[in-house]
Structure 1
């Protein structure tokens, strides 16, 4: 397959989630569909009566250490449905909206959590791809830490669950799979021998971790004041 048809996105360590705004409030949901927190934000529909008729849904990674949402993708932005749009257009739309509202990166009383747009790299630009794979740490002072790389086919629509049009690799797998060199600091684990075997083992361990946490009881705290409200102590996982 033509590698030029793909877009590279760095994925930080954290909790994969959906951020949903509606009726003037912003909520975070885990992959299991549990509401984790709610708070005001500057996303369309995210705070105040002016946002009561707007809605936004973002696919994010939440880093608790930085208290920041790193935005991977968008399903809806300000009532504009993007699910059936090609990835290349969705990313263009997202970037333009973040450029229009740089305050999304700043925390204040109207935007309790920081939202940051993740960089994208087009495989048609060989120099940019090489620079991305050779950079270590990827983010300044290794904050946040890089978890791995997501690969989006340019023409892919947003798909729930697994799809061959979105791929994932840990940094140390890139030379083995793509034949592209990465920074030598991305060392292979001792137990790594084959990428398929390693990912199967990783997925099995992750599934076991999810099952363990799914048996935990949770509770909901409600409040009349729309500040940041934590719902439960969900696990961090990708």
Structure 2
């Protein structure tokens, strides 16, 4: 663990020099359509930075790995010593951890077809669910929403996620990114931040996906509920955007068996992207009915996706402006109501109170 933190300290000094530039690039991307311009230019700039610094953006996760492996309390709300500190103070504990807030890598709306789309991009179908950060450490696995809200905890077969794991005695931990769907108790794994106490954020998308696939396959217990694993883990498919592969992907319906969970939208990953905290133009988001408009009329799309287009849909730009305004109002309502919600219990995998149910709905993402 000390080696990991020393690595993060070194990167922190380098990244402070670029702090203002990063803030200008990513701040308030969803507030103004014009700020999405020059996506291609910003992609090339970020890829250029990555070539010169293999540890790019690791400082963003420094606090996360400091916390992982360091908290030994049995109950996350039990003591004020727990590193689950204030954003909003409610009845003696704090609802949101500043460490787990703004950790996940989030997308921008994809508003233009990348120049290297067919050569260097992947597409991932995203289920309708709650975007979560999964932290397996100290013999327990905890789930947090993208805003750092504690969602639930349970045992899993992930490294560090179960007290019977032999590796737990060596301080092993694991951090994943994905979507949790409560109805089928399944965690759809999207990406990887750390595995067996090793940070993976400076690896390219291709490497992270290869590592995820091989490691999850070795842990066969993750695919079923058992005494040591209380949540089903399923790796989301990441498909090449070569013309043939992408057309075949867009013609497939449903993306998930029996159309459950329903498809929410599509994430597009650049093959060379490192894992960074916050929005990045190296990850794009589209609803399926936007694909032809943005990626070209030569793309074949299943007619069912076209039928899901809203009746008042005009253009992608118009949709994003309306969507952003609606999302902002919902966030404001959530902030006003959050002070009236009293959450006093840790949530188990199968025991979730009404307040947590409400919180899940508020955290439902479109990435």
Shared fold by TM > 0.5? yes
Residue of structure 1 aligned with 2:215, choices 97, 107, 113: 97
Equivalent position to 2:304, from 149, 161, 185: 185
State the TM-score, normalized to the length of structure 2: 0.61
Residue of 233, 241, 244 corresponding to 1:115: 233
**TM-score, reference length from structure 1:** 0.92
Aligned partner of 2:261 in structure 1 is: 144
Find out whether 1:221 has 2:340 as its counterpart. no
Q: CA RMSD in A?
A: 1.8
- 2:197 paired residue number: 79
C-alpha deviation, 1:203, in angstroms: 2.6
| Alpha-carbon distance in 1 for matches of 2:179, 2:322 | 23
Which one is further off, 49-58 or 62-71? 49-58
Show the counterpart of 2:277.
160
**Matched residue SS, 1:32:** coil
**How far, CA to CA, are the matches of 1:213 and 1:54 in structure 2?**
36
Residue 132 (structure 1) aligned to one of 233, 236, 249: 249
The residue correspondences of 1:14-25 to structure 2 (distance < 5 A) are: 14-25=129-140
- Structure number with the bigger relative contact order (C-alpha 8 A, sep ≥ 6) is 1
Q: 1:47 is matched with which residue? A: 162
Conserved? CA contact 2:152–2:349, under 8 Å: no
Equivalences for residues 59-70 of structure 1 within 5 A: 59-70=177-188
Query: Offset of 1:73 from its aligned partner?
Result: 0.6
Q: Please, which runs of 5 or more residues in structure 2 have no aligned partner?
A: 1-114
Return the alpha-carbon distance in structure 2 between the equivalents of residues 104 and 145 of structure 1: 22
Structure 1 residue runs of 4 or more that deviate by more than 4 Å after TM superposition = 226-229
Name the CA distance, whole Å, in 2 between partners of 1:228 and 1:190: 38
Question: What secondary structure sits across from 2:281 in the alignment?
Answer: coil
- Residue 213 of structure 1 contacts residue 235 of structure 1 at CA under 8 Å; is this kept in 2? no
- Count of residue pairs brought into register by the alignment: 235
Q: How far apart in 2 are the matches of 1:65 and 1:99?
A: 24
CA distance 1:229–1:27, change in 2 (3 Å)? farther
Query: Is there any run of 5+ residues in structure 1 with no aligned partner, and where?
Result: none
- For residues 147 and 225 of structure 2, the distance between their equivalents in structure 1, rounded to whole angstroms, comes to 27
Provide the rounded CA distance (Å) in 1 between the counterparts of 2:227 and 2:174. Answer: 20
* C-alpha distance after superposition, 1:58-116 (max 9, x if no partner): 11111122111101111111212111111111111111111212321101121111110
Separation (CA, whole Å) in 2 of partners of 1:200 and 1:68: 32
Taking a change above 3 Å as real, the CA distance of residues 222 and 138 of structure 1, as seen in their structure-2 partners, is closer
Which structure has the larger Rg over C-alpha atoms? 2
Q: Distance in 2 between matches of 1:85 and 1:67?
A: 29
**Is the contact between residue 152 and residue 346 of structure 2 (CA under 8 Å) also seen in structure 1?**
no
Give the number of the structure whose residues are more often helix, by fraction. 2
CA contact (8 A) 1:29 1:35 kept: yes
Give 1:213 deviation, angstroms. 2.5
Closer/same/farther in 2, CA of residues 178 and 45 from structure 1, 3 Å limit = same
Q: 1:26 aligns with which of 141, 154, 159?
A: 141
